[in-house]
Structure 1
Amino acid sequence: MKILITGGLGFIGSHTVVSLVENGFTPIIIDNCSNSSEEVLMQIETIIGKPLTFYKEDVTDGLALDRIFTTEKDIKGVIHFAAAKAVGESVENPLKYYHNNITGLVQLLTIMQNHQVNNMIFSSSCTVYGQVEKMPITEDAPVQAPISPYGNTKKVGEEIIQDVAKSSDLQAILLRYFNPIGAHPSALIGELPLGVPQNLLPFITQTAVGIREKLSVFGSDYPTPDGTCIRDYIHVLDLADAHVIALKRLMNQQQESNIEIYNIGTGKGTSVLEMITAFEEVTQQSLPYEMAPRREGDTTIAFADTTLVNEKLGWKAQRTLEESLDSAWKWQLNISNKTL
């Protein structure tokens, strides 16, 4: 069964491609490599032991998408990852985010309609909730005005999909996930930020390996136990598995409505300082860091209530924070060609 996966060479996309193959699907990958590398394709193929179909195209290019859907007949569903994803950068360059994330989604939905492909898994984000007062966050929490253009593109993206579903045969599952970390146990694929990392763990591993001089902890005066932001960190393999389980739900027509929304997280919050301490304990590496001013666009605390996804999809995070940190460190060592 052919499944189109946009952004399939990215961090989450690459791990989901592996999970798709392991579950008997045939992924068709689209990626413009703006925040990834074609080398990732070779690494995925090494893991799964066979070649994959890959198109180096941009989802904002409707003509390219149409050619792919025409060439790859019988595509049964789409998992849509392709999007710019850094909160801080979106504040500095909002037009890039609205173009990539909104225009790309509109083009993709248009071509899907033209080719009668009606099943979609959408890569959404907990950022659509904004700063929620009550923890953990349930799917019923009100979607608030986002505090970053990135968050707004996910909110608007969800609204676009919901509107299209009302007027068509589109069936979609929107996965609002929290903070993916970790890497494949082979250490062949993992998070590969181009330039200075925007996410915490890649900055930690790059600092530990000597690429960065020290880690900046943005904000020490938040109303949390240690003054630093709290997030729900989920292993990327657990997240990849959630996409495949959601896809099977669509393929088997088990959904209860044409739009379903699920939080994907562990249900546990970890502060930045707790992450640093845990990393040092797991890897036996000393991590130089400094406290820095708050970063615009960051929320104080966010962790998931996963009751709904546990009950409806039968999915639950399996891997620990320590496993995530260990795999990310091994991945960093591999790409840095260093050993302990």
Structure 2
Amino acid sequence: MKNLKLWEEYTRESLHLSILLTGGIGYIGSHAAASLIEAGYDVVLFDNLSNSDASVHNRLEKITNKKISFVEGDIRDFELISKTLNQYKIEAVMHFAGLKAVGESVQNPLRYYDNNVGGSMSLIRAMQENNIKKIVFSSSATVYGVPQYLPIDESHPLSAINPYGRTKIYIEEILADLAISDPDWKIMSLRYFNPIGAHDSGLIGESPKAVPNNLMPYIIKVAKGELAKVNVYGDDYQTPDGTGVRDYIHVMDLVEGHMAALLFLNNHSGFHAINLGTGNGYSVKEIIDTFSKVTHTKVPYEIVGRRDGDVAISYASVDHAKKLLGWQAKRDLKEMCLSAWKVMSSSK
């Protein structure tokens, strides 16, 4: 359910505002596009399709009943990103583009630093050249590393334990330094916890090209018979059922948080970092059991050894988001599971 008061504000603010979405064909970016267009924003999608499907563009046009501008390109291409910003008279950027597989980042750190940090530098320089100084950045709870206390608030020390997380820290530091150097910049870094779920239309969702790294799309592939079973990494943690606990948030709540962040930046300059989560933790077994119950499917799983770097429990303090943005998550775990299943159960 939408926060109706905030939605009215989104709609009032949206008139004639043109926003570039880097990674706009991807999972979070496409859902943001659908909500932004519904609220009346002009949206331009920019994506290199390295981990996304061009058909999402057509599906977004079907959802919104509008033609949507799409530029295929890489944010490391400074000339192209600068040209796009100028051509479409962009006034703000939502920056979703980036590689995000933790294991892959450990195996190939240079690729992650080049793509995530180098790409962000290219984008920021192009924005500065075109005098565009409003950006909402897609960060991650991985910046916190192993939790020193719970719930994790924005004052928690930053200490990523893998190259992916460190790229997010480095980009945040670049943005924070930029805001100090020029008070005209308006920057929001949103630290996601674990987005799952999909758009109500069933036309877009989380559909990774390769074997999924994230729990929900993996569960769905097992439920569809495409994979044999879900590996549950450890059942001996100090949690209610022994499996790891994470803060899962519905992707539509997440993108509404982005829109609230955009409103906030209208009247606030400088660099700001805010958690986006529910403030609740769900265990791996709880996710599997809830999914099986609400979708009436069987999801075989096997307990295997713990993975290096995994923590027992991680969930957000969401007080800051509620206070500064007037936003909080509304959708429950059942909605997350059902919406995700609606998309992927109908896909080939």
Q: Give the TM-score, by structure 1 length.
A: 0.95
Pairwise CA distance, 1:170: 1.7
Equivalence for 1:274: 286
**Matching of residues 136-285 of structure 1 within 5 Å:** 136-144=151-159, 146-168=160-182, 169-250=184-265, 252-253=266-267, 255=268, 257-285=269-297
8 A contact 1:131–1:300 mirrored in 2: no
8 A contact 1:185–1:327 mirrored in 2: yes
Question: What SS does the corresponding residue of 2:188 show, helix, strand or coil?
Answer: strand
Q: Deviations over 1:106-159 (max 9, x none)?
A: 001101100000000000111111111311111111112x11111111111110
Q: Distance in 2 between matches of 1:123 and 1:69?
A: 19
Equivalence for 1:32: 48
Equivalence for 2:130: 115
Q: Deviations over 1:275-333 (max 9, x none)?
A: 11111111111111111222234333210111111111110101111000011111111
The range that moved more, 133-142 or 193-202, is: 133-142
8 A contact 1:177–1:264 mirrored in 2: yes
Pairwise CA distance, 1:261: 1.3
8 A contact 1:88–1:297 mirrored in 2: no
The range that moved more, 121-130 or 215-224, is: 215-224
Q: Distance in 2 between matches of 1:219 and 1:201?
A: 17
8 A contact 1:91–1:297 mirrored in 2: no
Equivalence for 2:327: 315
Equivalence for 2:11: none
Q: Distance in 1 between matches of 2:109 and 2:235?
A: 27
Cα RMSD (Å): 1.1
Equivalence for 1:327: 339
The range that moved more, 188-197 or 90-99, is: 90-99
> Taking structure 1 as reference, are residues 297 and 86 closer, same or farther at Cα in structure 2, changes over 3 Å only?
farther
Equivalence for 1:54: 70
Question: What SS does the corresponding residue of 2:94 show, helix, strand or coil?
Answer: strand
The range that moved more, 167-176 or 45-54, is: 167-176
Question: What SS does the corresponding residue of 1:3 show, helix, strand or coil?
Answer: strand
**Percent of aligned pairs with the same residue?**
47
Question: What SS does the corresponding residue of 1:268 show, helix, strand or coil?
Answer: coil
Unmatched tracts of structure 2, length 5 or more:
1-16
> Taking structure 1 as reference, are residues 36 and 133 closer, same or farther at Cα in structure 2, changes over 3 Å only?
same
Among candidates 278, 287, 298, match of residue 286 of structure 1: 298
Question: What SS does the corresponding residue of 1:241 show, helix, strand or coil?
Answer: helix
8 A contact 2:207–2:344 mirrored in 1: no
Unmatched tracts of structure 1, length 5 or more:
none
Q: Give the TM-score, by structure 2 length.
A: 0.93
Q: Distance in 2 between matches of 1:316 and 1:190?
A: 21
Length, aligned pairs only: 331
**Matching of residues 41-80 of structure 1 within 5 Å:** 41-73=57-89, 75-80=90-95
2:209 corresponds to which letter in structure 1?
A: L
Q: Distance in 1 between matches of 2:326 and 2:271?
A: 18
Equivalence for 2:8: none
Question: What SS does the corresponding residue of 1:196 show, helix, strand or coil?
Answer: coil
